[in-house]
């Protein structure tokens, strides 16, 4: 069972070094110094000559709480220069090389939808390569709370188009095309969702004098080919914007050859005012449904994904997105991988820092649970033992590849298993806000620490962080 468990649950702590390394590569720039790894928190694609981006790097994702987020960068921003060096016409590798130069801060020049040109300072967060942040440990210990620390690839049948260049950086206002007779009731909730998303990007909806006209086209009809194939999947995993989680919808995967019960088309189109035939940007979605689903329900989930990097138009179809959930209790502790109970660093201003914890301190217990095992290899073995011993408490069917959450009826059994051995569960405090880890409403962390040979008790009120992201691949 334990060997099977290792293939089903990701990532295992036995691959902690690999897990941390992969996380760093995805989230960070390569090391600026031999013994450091520096995190930026941006993802980008090189824009096409047509449409938004014009050969510059376009941000397709900014990680919450990252240096990029702190600097005010957003998905959809175009980076036109790094430290005074133009990024026009450069390859993705050349842009990366500009970002990883050994400097304390980068001067970023960008263009933003509706805001023109601006500059900001991007200060990388650097730490030792033999250390681990709580975010990295939450990923490594995903088996404790899989829905809070999982990575999935999501596919959407979107086709984007940007047919002409347009000064998006100076546009300010938008309006919706008039609804056809009889369609107002359907259009109203969809237009309300679009307006909310565009206004969050800095545009303003106006009744008259709008620069952009937004229009939707949709249809939902019974399929002409409803042949069913029991061997083919009839659902797809999609992003749920309200909860920032995952949901299973009755949407046939693009690779399925089975017939559908319904066919759904949804197109979002943007034109300049007075020029309805000049399409500036559009996104079309063609879905095949295995069972009935309302258009407003589908639109509520699809539109935030369509508009995530607006007005950028990726060239691939279908479109792939990288989803990573990351919810954990943050204290600001950075652990030493060579001796796991040693504090390598404490982020200044963090809950742990304010509580008085400092670099060089040793943790002897967390909430009365002894930090008895500090060796990386043996801690790995204990974690694997926990995964094997508790596998029977997981849902019988996978929600997605490597995603099998706990059965609700087994929460008490999970808590008992976590208390059984400190070696197996010391870092479960990262998910102390979940009922299968902690059945009380209190998340206060009580630490027994050692400093200069003396013992102290500290209480840390952790901060619940949600760093869930959806990144355009």
SS (H, E, C) 1-47: CHHHHHHHCCCCHHHHHHHHHHHHHHHEECCCCCCEEEECCEEEEEC
Tell whether 304 and 350 lie within a shared domain: no
Tell whether 204 and 285 lie within a shared domain: yes
Give which of 390, 381, 427, 434 is closest to 410, Cα–Cα. Answer: 390
Tell whether 385 and 415 lie within a shared domain: yes
- Give Cα separations from 108 to 63, 71, 79, 123, 183 (angstroms): 17, 9, 7, 10, 45
Neighbours of 456 (CB within 10 A): 13
Tell whether 199 and 78 lie within a shared domain: no
Tell whether 446 and 335 lie within a shared domain: yes
Residue carrying structure tokens 């559009």: 282
Q: Is residue 32 part of a domain?
A: no
Q: Is residue 199 part of a domain?
A: yes
Quote the tokens at residue 45. 């694609």
For the full predicted model, state whether its pTM sits above 0.85.
Answer: yes
Output the pLDDT for position 226. 66
Q: Is residue 333 part of a domain?
A: yes
Give SS3 for 94. helix
Quote the tokens at residue 438. 């902690």
Output the pLDDT for position 133. 96
Contacts of 419 (CB under 8 A, 6+ apart): 369, 425
Report yes or no: 373 and 367 within 8 Å, Cβ to Cβ. Answer: no
Output the pLDDT for position 11. 41
Q: Is residue 15 part of a domain?
A: no
The tally of domains found in the chain comes to 3
Q: Is residue 403 part of a domain?
A: yes
Tell whether 380 and 434 lie within a shared domain: yes
Tell whether 185 and 308 lie within a shared domain: yes
Q: Is residue 34 part of a domain?
A: no
Running along the chain, 473 residues long, what does each successive block of 10 average in pLDDT?
A: 36 38 35 64 87 90 95 95 94 92 92 94 92 95 94 94 87 94 87 95 94 95 78 87 93 86 95 93 95 92 94 89 96 96 96 97 94 88 91 91 92 93 88 95 94 96 96 90
Query: Residue 291 maps to which CATH number?
Result: 3.30.160.670
Report the alpha-carbon distance of residue 334 to residue 328 in Å, rounded. 14
Q: Is residue 131 part of a domain?
A: no
Output the pLDDT for position 15. 40
Tell whether 90 and 225 lie within a shared domain: no
Tell whether 177 and 311 lie within a shared domain: yes
Query: Residue 113 maps to which CATH number?
Result: 2.30.42.10
Using omega within 30 degrees of 0 as the cis cutoff, is the peptide bond preceding 318 cis?
A: yes
Output the pLDDT for position 18. 33
Q: Is residue 323 part of a domain?
A: no
Tell whether 308 and 385 lie within a shared domain: no
Tell whether 335 and 306 lie within a shared domain: no
Q: What is the DSSP letter of 209?
A: S
Tell whether 205 and 108 lie within a shared domain: no
Of the residues 284, 317, 350, the one at which a domain ends: 317
Output the pLDDT for position 35. 61
- Which residues constitute the domain of residue 107? 41-123
């Amino acid at each position: 069972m334990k060997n099977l468990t290792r293939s089903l649950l990701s990532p295992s702590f036995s691959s902690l070094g690999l897990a941390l390394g992969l996380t760093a590569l995805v989230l960070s720039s390569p090391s600026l110094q031999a013994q450091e790894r520096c995190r930026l928190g941006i993802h980008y694609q090189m824009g096409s000559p047509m449409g938004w981006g014009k050969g510059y790097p376009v941000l397709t994702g900014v990680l919450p709480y990252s240096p990029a987020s702190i600097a005010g960068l957003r998905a959809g921003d175009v980076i036109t220069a790094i430290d005074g060096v133009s990024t026009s016409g450069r390859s993705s590798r050349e842009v990366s090389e500009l970002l990883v130069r050994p400097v304390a801060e980068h001067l970023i020049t960008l263009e933003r939808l509706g805001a023109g040109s601006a500059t900001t300072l991007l200060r990388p967060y650097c730490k030792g390569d033999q250390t681990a942040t709580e975010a990295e440990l939450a990923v490594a210990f995903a088996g404790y709370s899989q829905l809070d620390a999982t990575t999935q690839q999501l596919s959407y049948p979107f086709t984007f188009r940007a047919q002409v260049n347009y000064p998006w950086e100076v546009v300010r206002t938008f309006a919706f095309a008039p609804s056809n007779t009889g369609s107002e009731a359907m259009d109203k909730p969809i237009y309300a969702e679009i307006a909310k998303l565009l206004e969050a990007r800095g545009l303003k909806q106006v009744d008259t004098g709008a620069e952009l006209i937004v229009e939707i086209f949709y249809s939902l009809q019974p399929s002409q080919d409803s042949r069913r194939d029991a061997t083919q999947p009839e659902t797809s995993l999609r992003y749920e914007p309200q909860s920032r989680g995952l949901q299973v919808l009755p949407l046939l995967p693009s690779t399925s050859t089975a017939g559908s019960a319904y066919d759904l088309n949804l197109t979002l189109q943007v034109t300049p005012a007075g020029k309805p035939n000049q399409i500036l940007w559009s996104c079309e979605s063609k879905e095949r449904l295995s069972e009935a689903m309302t258009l407003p329900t589908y639109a509520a989930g699809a539109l935030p994904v369509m508009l995530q990097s607006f007005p950028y138009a990726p060239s691939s179809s279908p479109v792939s997105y990288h989803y990573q959930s990351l919810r954990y209790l943050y204290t600001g502790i950075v652990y030493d991988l060579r001796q796991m109970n040693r504090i390598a660093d404490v982020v200044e201003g963090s809950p742990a820092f304010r509580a008085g914890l400092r670099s060089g301190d040793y943790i002897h217990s967390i909430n009365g649970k002894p930090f008895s095992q500090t060796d990386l290899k043996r801690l790995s073995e204990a974690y694997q033992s926990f995964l094997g011993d508790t596998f029977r408490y997981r849902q019988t069917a996978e929600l997605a590849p490597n995603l099998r959450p706990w059965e609700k009826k087994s929460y008490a059994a999970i808590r008992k298993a976590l208390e059984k051995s400190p070696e197996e569960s010391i870092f479960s405090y990262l998910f102390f806000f979940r009922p299968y880890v902690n059945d009380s409403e209190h998340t206060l962390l009580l630490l027994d620490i050692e400093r200069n040979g003396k013992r102290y008790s500290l209480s840390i009120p952790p901060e619940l962080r949600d760093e869930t992201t959806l990144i355009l691949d």
